[in-house]
Amino acid sequence: MKEKLFQYVLLTIALAFTIFFFFYVIPPALSPFDPWSAILGGFVNPFASGYSTDVILCWVILAAWIIYDSDRVKHGWICILLGAVPGVAVGFALYLIMRMKQGVR
């Protein structure tokens, strides 16, 4: 796959998840505003707990990688925030794009 096509695929995935997040996740989290219920909702059964734990640990790994790369990739910290909200799919995809655009291999 060509690099430019890869970047478009990553951007499309990030945008698709962001749209999904803002239309499907945000409204119930705000009505009534209860962030703890929204967070703990990912742990309502063993299957959801497994997926939620996986996502949280993937975010921790992404954050560690971004911190490790901080001297080579400018503004990578933004992807740590985007990895938390809307999600790891967005933070990871945009971090890969940032690395490529800045010439980091």
Domain boundaries, the chain: 3-101
- Buried (b) or exposed (e) across 19-47, using 16+ Cβ within 10 A? eebeeeeeeeeeeeeeeeeeeeeeeeeee
Render each residue's pLDDT in the chain as its tens digit; 105 residues.
999 999 999 999 999 999 999 999 999 888 888 888 888 999 999 999 999 999 999 999 999 999 999 999 999 999 999 999 999 999 999 999 999 999 988
